[in-house]
Structure 1
């Protein structure tokens, strides 16, 4: 059916399903990146304004050599997850993996994504061994407390609840390191959505050329200016 002006009648059209992304990134990494860029920007601007000879040109050439890698390794890494796919944005490339193609996610000394027969690092979720040890100590204390409460005859309702393997978005478990919690949550999302018809497909990898090309161009200009000095 159409309206009087000839446009289709939207009354019976099914609303388009929306997929809300969960976002995971390292806050300390972002903060350190902003601070590094601020310090570097101040030094480069100072060299351009007060430098003599080739110094301003060397500073200009050094700006992309330093700035773009800092952006790539501190501000750019992020993980987006919804009901259809997992999108991992690493420093130099982006990996988009439908849940049906995800074989596993694991956290050892780094977080790794196994999808489409290949392994990818997940830069946005760094593994902190210190945080993991602190979480293990908290888990041990919770286990001791639970054992003492059990021996003391505490009722089941008063005993501490066991730690959950996966957490809802926004939850926090002090007995688990943040990276382990994220991996467990993403693994549960993968298992829950792998059978969805719209979660099928191949892994897509895209290189971040807007970081790679300016960095290489700046490096060539920097080396040339230094060699000509």
Structure 2
């Protein structure tokens, strides 16, 4: 007995674009290495109460540092924006997003007025100032070329540097990320597949160990 021909299954959802903070990850890994080194040393060399204090401190500090440095990430595809912050995971269909804002932090504002911070895309004022200086240098070089042309026997004084974006103003990396997200929002907010409800889930797998470590450490300190 033959089975009827099955229609081809639809293509899976588009793959996520993943945005994270490289400096945050590097700093977090370095800090975790120091904490584990000191903690394990105290467990091996310490005695009695010292070992318990070291254990409680590691239970508290390791997940806490991981949550704020290694864990944060932003996942974006054509249907939704998923934000993995230190203690929460927020899923926002593009149709529910009103704006993506950048000031002293990068934020997403929903149409209901709720605001969520993008921990994985931190604002760097230093990077912005550096990008602005590079843009100014590129503009000044362009003006010199336009007025006097190449100088010094065709050596091309004022030629564009290799690290300057010739297509427009130089942008800090996190500002480029926000530009990408705004472009996705502009193209997908009206799409039928990009509608739905905003969901927020607390990361109990992270908060649980932090609370347990804090309670254990508080009890040990209270006992003297």
The TM-score bracket by the shorter chain reads 0.7 to 0.9
The 1-side partners of 2:179 and 2:185 are apart by 10
* Uncovered stretches (5+) of structure 1, i.e. residues with no partner: 165-174
The alignment status of 1:163 with 2:144, answered yes or no, reads: no
* Uncovered stretches (5+) of structure 2, i.e. residues with no partner: 151-158
Match of 2:94 in 1: 99
Alignment of 1:39-54 (within 5 A): 39-54=34-49
Match of 1:129 in 2: 125
Q: Alignment partner for residue 9 of structure 1, among 5, 8, 17?
A: 5
Q: Alignment partner for residue 174 of structure 2, among 166, 170, 179?
A: 179
Match of 2:192 in 1: 197
The alignment status of 1:57 with 2:52, answered yes or no, reads: yes
Give 1:13 deviation, angstroms. 2.1
TM-score normalised by the chain length of structure 2: 0.87
Q: Deviations over 1:65-124 (max 9, x none)?
A: 101110100011001110001111111111111001111111111101111421111110
- Give the alignment's Cα RMSD to 1 decimal: 2.0
Q: What secondary structure is seen at the aligned counterpart in 1 of 2:120?
A: coil
TM-aligned CA distance change 1:46 to 1:161, over 3 Å: closer
The 1-side partners of 2:42 and 2:34 are apart by 12
The 2-side partners of 1:161 and 1:68 are apart by 43
The 2-side partners of 1:18 and 1:95 are apart by 18
Give 1:145 deviation, angstroms. 2.1
Match of 1:169 in 2: none
The 2-side partners of 1:108 and 1:64 are apart by 35
Give 1:137 deviation, angstroms. 0.5
Match of 1:149 in 2: 145
The 2-side partners of 1:106 and 1:42 are apart by 40
The 2-side partners of 1:147 and 1:217 are apart by 62
Equivalenced residues, count: 211
